[in-house]
Chains A and B, each alone.
Chain A
Amino acid sequence: EDQVTQSPEALRLQEGESSSLNCSYTVSGLRGLFWYRQDPGKGPEFLFTLYSAGEEKEKERLKATLTKKESFLHITAPKPEDSATYLCAVASGGYQKVTFGTGTKLQVIP
Chain B
Amino acid sequence: KAGVTQTPRYLIKTRGQQVTLSCSPISGHRSVSWYQQTPGQGLQFLFEYFSETQRNKGNFPGRFSGRQFSNSRSEMNVSTLELGDSALYLCASSPTGPNTGELFFGEGSRLTVL
| Interface range, A side | 20 to 34
| Stretch in contact with the other chain, from B13-21, B69-77, B79-87, B98-106 | B98-106
Contact among A43, A101, A103 for B92, CB-based, below 8 A: A43
Residue of A87, A92, A94, A102 most packed against chain B (CB within 10 A): A102
Known pairs A97-B56, A101-B42, A103-B42; A92 contacts B99 (CB<8 A):
yes
| Interface range, B side | 20 to 34
Known pairs A43-B90, A49-B101, A49-B102; A96 contacts B108 (CB<8 A):
no
Contact among A43, A46, A98 for B108, CB-based, below 8 A: A43
Known pairs A43-B90, A45-B105; A97 contacts B41 (CB<8 A):
no
Contact among B33, B101, B105 for A32, CB-based, below 8 A: B101
Contacts of A42 in B (CB 8 A): 107-108
Contacts of A102 in B (CB 8 A): 41-42
Shortest Cβ-Cβ A-B pairs, 9 listed: A43-B105, A91-B99, A102-B42, A100-B43, A46-B102, A96-B55, A96-B97, A98-B98, A96-B56
Contact among A31, A45, A87, A103 for B99, CB-based, below 8 A: A31
Is the Cβ of A95 less than 8 Å from the Cβ of B56? yes
Once the chains are docked, how many angstroms separate the CA of A94 from the CA of B100?
10
Contact among B45, B99, B106 for A43, CB-based, below 8 A: B106
Q: Give A64-108 as 1s and 0s: 1 = Cβ < 8 Å from B's Cβ atoms.
A: 000000000000000000000001010110111111111100000
Task: Determine how close the nearest CB of chain A comes to the CB of B48; give it in whole angstroms.
Answer: 5
Interface set of B (CB-CB < 8 Å, partner A): 4, 31, 33, 35, 41-43, 45, 48, 50, 55-56, 58, 90, 92, 97-108
What residue in chain A is nearest B55 (Cβ atoms)?
A: A96
What residue in chain A is nearest B106 (Cβ atoms)?
A: A43
Contacts of B101 in A (CB 8 A): 32, 49
Is the Cβ of A97 less than 8 Å from the Cβ of B48? yes
